[in-house]
Amino acid sequence: MPSTILSFIRRLARRPGAAAGIALLTCAAQAGATSAQEFPQRPVKIVTPYAAGGASDAMTRQIAEHLSKLWQQSVVVENKPGASGTIAAESVARAAPDGYTMLMGTNALMLVPGLFGDKAAFDPIKSFEPVSLVGTIPFLFAAAPGTPVKNLADFVAMAKAEPGKYSYASFGTGSTGHLLMELFQDAAGIKLIHVPYKGEAPAITQAIGGHVQTLIISVPGSVSHVTAGKLIPLAVNGPTRARQLPDTPTFGESGYKGFEPMSWFGMMLPAKTPPAVVQKVNQSLKQILAEPGMNSRMADYGIMLNSSTPEALTVMMQHDIDTFTKVIREKNIKVD
């Protein structure tokens, strides 16, 4: 795991209560008596919340292919897009806890407690056994062409001069990008108008067309437009600059700390899956995610592959739940 991601997880682990949670999870793993040497003995399914095509789907299929070779067993991908990933998550939460149905989860699922509370069909922590972090994708905050700014400082100054005049597009109300921008507005002391769209593609189209002044999107979805001069890159989140946009500073470099968490992917299994099976999958992922070929291919999509322990992924999940829930409640964010 790269040092930047590892250091971030370590900082989270030092927070009150985190150590006790990790110790509890470790004991549970050690207590698992079921041997996983024979696993898997039949085809395994990875459920992904994304439609076929695109970086996230490509990553999941690459992982499935490598696991299939490693295990000498068929590993298939099932796409269940919709409802911000909750359709896929619910299906895995209800699956048998035997390791044969996995979820390629994302931190978007950590929005569920804050958005739906007791009405949620699943609990991101209680309904799953976290297995391993898989990869991260940074976000880009960009300005539409023709906006008279060159960097983040320019935009903040412009927004402060005329509060409530400028807008930003996101890929949906209650999305991770939406919440990131709510946090940024508080940090920068500015007020923007949120214009949500159903996905990145329409958000980009509207920004390029001049209907909104700024937008928050994934780095992979933005690169071609930045290269073509159709978007003005202002800042990326994450601990380091994005490989695909090396000239674009991070929020931290621009004077706004606290934007290290990126959009992440993590493998999860249904709750009560035997600890030995969880560890078998974890070690298998650790092995294939370290392969240079995998990292090179995924880097082309803007995805930085990282593995972790189940305990470290649990810490990240709880951190995002706490952060997102706080913002959702303070801003009174609601979804239909």
What pLDDT is attached to residue 32?
40
Q: Which amino acid makes up residue 143?
A: A
Concatenated DSSP letters for 171-183? SSTT-HHHHHHHH
Among 83, 82, 140, 136, smallest CA distance to 107 is for 136
What pLDDT is attached to residue 118?
87
CA distances (Å), origin 311, targets 24, 55, 94, 99, 131: 9, 26, 22, 18, 8
What pLDDT is attached to residue 239?
87
What pLDDT is attached to residue 2?
52
- Give every residue of the chain whose pLDDT is below 50, as ranges: 3, 22, 25-34
Question: Could you identify the residue written with the tokens 């995002």?
Answer: 320
What pLDDT is attached to residue 28?
43
What pLDDT is attached to residue 31?
40
What pLDDT is attached to residue 185?
95
What pLDDT is attached to residue 20?
52
What pLDDT is attached to residue 33?
41
To the nearest 5 percent, what fractions of the chain are helix, strand and coil? 45, 20, 35
What pLDDT is attached to residue 30?
45
- pTM as predicted: 0.83
All domains of the chain in start order, with CATH = 44-136+262-331 (3.40.190.150), 139-254 (3.40.190.10)
Q: What would the pLDDT profile of 243-268 be if each residue is shown by its tens digit?
A: 899 999 999 999 998 766 678 999 99
What pLDDT is attached to residue 29?
43
**What are the start-end ranges of the H helices in the chain?**
3-13, 18-31, 55-71, 86-93, 112-116, 152-161, 176-188, 200-208, 219-227, 275-289, 292-299, 310-331
* Distance between CA atoms of residues 201 and 209, nearest Å: 12
* Distance between CA atoms of residues 120 and 122, nearest Å: 5
